[in-house]
């Protein structure tokens, strides 16, 4: 008698259904995190598709961009024209069997469709958690205005503290505002689901890119609130810790961060300059920050002859944080990234791994990113539509299936 196959491990969000109506980055990233941990995520796209499907090159599976596939795995895909009354009616049917909806439409869109949270969703679907992501919120002087990551980096002051001291403000090299807003949305949804377990009611999770961007200004925001001095750009250096900067070695740049006096003493010992620990200019972190120019010159002269990998290894062994300044290829190919399973493969799909590790209910990659409309028939059938009804919706241009060429030539709808 053969043994039963091993059961698939439970995931933390098994049994939770999510409708992902969001586009671009913050919302899709949030929903991918939910899907990674077991939620049944149904991404609803317009016939024109999520804008990021065209954000390339490079392009990978199904002709979609690598950008799109990086944030849309573990989702089924339903292509539905929500600008039509029948499309909105189908959406209401889905909401009756949904735990979470995530959307980043232009403020007022959901209300125009008769799906505003306070007026419609909360009374009709009291257990529904509605996550709304906007640029500036929906009220206030800029309420309802559009906002992309870099625009909010500029408005919030993030760009002003990024770059070289004598250079212009520079956009951070990754869309950090969007990504962290996605994390905040993920956390807010978890909080709302936890509270729902007690109250039986859902609530609105309100996330704005501006709020995220302002929250990312630490420690510059705390410093300005304390003494009113406008922070300046410091390049790779830290404004209140020294040494905490990149240095040039014989084999490339290295970043070293000595966050306390013990680490500084160990750092200069490894560097062969132990007397610097007793130099009055560098005795404490306050002294080192005040005299950071002299400190950087002293250390820079020493490190210029070192091999950076050897230096990083020696410093790490004595407890001083240090690392070679890797490029993306080196980082994703590193032995530690492999050990942490931070590159995952599923068939032809390759993506960044799951950063949140749970011991009892680990996340997993079960579905590669889907083609536009790939699961339209499957999803509608699961929600009670018979085949004849589904074909009528497709024939009438309300729903679109993955094998329908109309989705590639339909106009984008907002």
pLDDT at 61: 76
Whether 178 is a known active-site residue: answer yes
Q: Strand, coil or helix: what is 88?
A: helix
CATH number at residue 83: 3.40.50.10540
Are residue 55 and residue 161 in the same domain, yes or no? yes
In a domain, 355, yes or no: yes
pLDDT at 409: 40
Give 336-381 pLDDT, tens digit per residue: 999 999 999 999 999 999 999 999 999 999 999 999 999 999 999 9
pLDDT at 4: 47
CA distances from 131 to 17, 190, 387 (A): 13, 11, 32
Question: Which residues are CB-neighbours of 124 under 8 A, at least 6 positions away?
Answer: 92, 95
In a domain, 6, yes or no: no
User: Exposure of 299 by Cβ count < 10 A (0-12 exposed, 13-18 middle, 19+ buried)?
Assistant: buried
Question: Containing domain of residue 182, as a range?
Answer: 17-216+347-409
Report how far residue 87's alpha carbon sits from residue 80's, in angstroms, rounded to the nearest whole number.
6
In a domain, 223, yes or no: no
- Confidence grade of residue 92 (pLDDT, cut at 50, 70, 90): very high
- Confidence grade of residue 404 (pLDDT, cut at 50, 70, 90): low
Are residue 205 and residue 309 in the same domain, yes or no? no
Instruction: Please report the sign of the dihedral spanned by the C-alpha atoms of residue 256, residue 260, residue 261, residue 265.
Output: negative
Are residue 370 and residue 263 in the same domain, yes or no? no
Report how far residue 109's alpha carbon sits from residue 112's, in angstroms, rounded to the nearest whole number.
5
Query: Which single residue is written with the structure tokens 């990086």?
Result: 70
Are residue 312 and residue 357 in the same domain, yes or no? no
CATH number at residue 299: 3.30.1540.10
In a domain, 184, yes or no: yes
Q: Using the predicted structure, report yes or no on whether residue 7 has a pLDDT greater than 90.
A: no
Are residue 355 and residue 327 in the same domain, yes or no? no
Are residue 73 and residue 210 in the same domain, yes or no? yes
Q: Using the predicted structure, report yes or no on whether residue 245 has a pLDDT greater than 70.
A: yes
Among 301, 332, 363, give the residue marking a domain's end.
332
Report how far residue 266's alpha carbon sits from residue 64's, in angstroms, rounded to the nearest whole number.
50
| Contact by Cβ (8 Å): 366, 9 | no
Report how far residue 161's alpha carbon sits from residue 235's, in angstroms, rounded to the nearest whole number.
8
pLDDT at 5: 46
pLDDT at 411: 35
In a domain, 266, yes or no: yes
Q: Which residue has the higher pLDDT, 412 or 136?
A: 136
Are residue 327 and residue 361 in the same domain, yes or no? no
In a domain, 342, yes or no: no
Among 332, 366, 389, give the residue marking a domain's end.
332
Helix axes 308-317, 261-271, angle to 10 degrees: 140
pLDDT at 410: 38
pLDDT at 302: 96
323: tokens are 């690392």
pTM: 0.92
Query: E strand or H helix at 314, and its extent?
Result: helix 308-317
**β partners of residue 20:** 43, 102
In a domain, 414, yes or no: no
- Length of the chain equals 414
Are residue 268 and residue 208 in the same domain, yes or no? no
Among 274, 301, 332, give the residue marking a domain's end.
332
Are residue 212 and residue 281 in the same domain, yes or no? no
Are residue 26 and residue 171 in the same domain, yes or no? yes
Across the range 282-288, mean pLDDT stands at 96
Give 152-194 pLDDT, tens digit per residue: 999 999 999 999 999 999 999 999 999 999 999 999 999 999 9
Are residue 364 and residue 328 in the same domain, yes or no? no
Q: Which of 56-65, 136-145, 279-288, 376-385 is predicted with the least confidence, judged by mean pLDDT?
A: 56-65
Helices (H), 50-114: 66-69, 85-95, 109-112
Q: Considering 20, 178, 266, 404, which one is annotated as catalytic?
A: 178
Across the range 382-400, mean pLDDT stands at 96
Q: Using the predicted structure, report yes or no on whether residue 6 has a pLDDT greater than 60.
A: no
| Contact by Cβ (8 Å): 316, 336 | no
- Angle among Cα 10, 12, 361 to the nearest 5 degrees reads 50
What φ, ψ does residue 218 adopt, rounded to 5°? -65, 140
In a domain, 337, yes or no: no
- Angle among Cα 276, 281, 283 to the nearest 5 degrees reads 65
Query: E strand or H helix at 26, and its extent?
Result: helix 26-36
Share of residues in the chain with pLDDT > 70 (%): 95
User: Residues 342-348: contacts with CB within 8 Å, 24+ apart?
Assistant: 346/73, 348/61
Are residue 313 and residue 365 in the same domain, yes or no? no
Across the range 196-203, mean pLDDT stands at 98
pLDDT at 412: 36
Considering its fold, how many domains does the chain have in total?
2
- Confidence grade of residue 402 (pLDDT, cut at 50, 70, 90): confident
Q: Strand, coil or helix: what is 135?
A: coil
What does the mean pLDDT of the chain come to?
94
| Contact by Cβ (8 Å): 410, 49 | no
């Amino acid at each position: 008698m053969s043994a039963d196959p091993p059961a698939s491990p439970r995931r933390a969000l098994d049994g939770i259904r999510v409708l992902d109506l969001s586009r671009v980055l913050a919302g899709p990233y949030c929903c991918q995190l939910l899907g990674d941990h077991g939620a049944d995520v149904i991404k609803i796209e317009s016939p024109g598709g999520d804008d990021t499907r065209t954000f390339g090159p490079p392009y990978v599976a199904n002709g979609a961009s690598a950008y799109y596939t990086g944030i849309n795995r573990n989702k089924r895909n339903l292509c539905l024209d929500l600008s039509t009354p029948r499309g909105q009616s189908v959406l209401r049917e889905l909401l009756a069997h949904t735990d979470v909806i995530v959307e980043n439409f232009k403020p007022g869109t959901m209300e125009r469709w008769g799906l505003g949270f306070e007026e419609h969703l909360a009374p009709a679907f009291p257990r529904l958690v509605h996550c709304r992501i906007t640029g500036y919120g929906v009220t206030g002087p800029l309420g309802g205005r559009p906002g992309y990551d870099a625009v909010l980096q500029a408005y919030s002051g993030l760009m002003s503290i990024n770059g070289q001291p004598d250079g212009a403000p520079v956009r951070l090299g990754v869309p950090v505002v969007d990504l962290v807003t996605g994390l905040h949305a993920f956390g807010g949804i978890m909080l709302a689901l936890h509270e729902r377990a007690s109250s039986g009611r859902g609530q609105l999770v309100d996330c704005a890119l501006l709020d995220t961007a302002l929250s990312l200004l630490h420690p510059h925001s705390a410093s300005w609130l304390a003494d009113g001095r406008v922070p300046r750009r410091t390049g790779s250096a830290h404004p209140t810790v020294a040494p905490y900067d990149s240095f040039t070695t014989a084999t490339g740049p290295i970043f070293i961060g000595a966050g306390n006096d013990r680490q500084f003493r160990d750092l200069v010992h490894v560097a062969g300059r132990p007397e610097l620990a007793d130099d009055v200019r560098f005795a404490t972190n306050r002294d080192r920050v005040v005299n950071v120019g002299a400190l950087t010159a002293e250390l820079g002269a020493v490190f210029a002859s070192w091999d950076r990998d050897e230096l990083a290894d020696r410093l790490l062994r004595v407890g001083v944080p240090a690392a070679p300044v890797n490029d993306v290829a080196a980082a994703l190919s590193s032995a530690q990234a492999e050990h942490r399973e931070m590159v995952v493969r599923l068939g032809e799909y390759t993506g960044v791994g799951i950063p949140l590790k749970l011991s009892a209910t680990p996340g997993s990659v079960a579905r590669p990113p889907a083609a536009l409309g790939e699961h339209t028939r499957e999803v509608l059938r699961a929600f009670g539509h018979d085949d004849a009804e589904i074909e009528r919706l497709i024939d009438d241009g309300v729903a679109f299936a993955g094998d329908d060429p109309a989705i590639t030539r339909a106009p984008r709808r907002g």
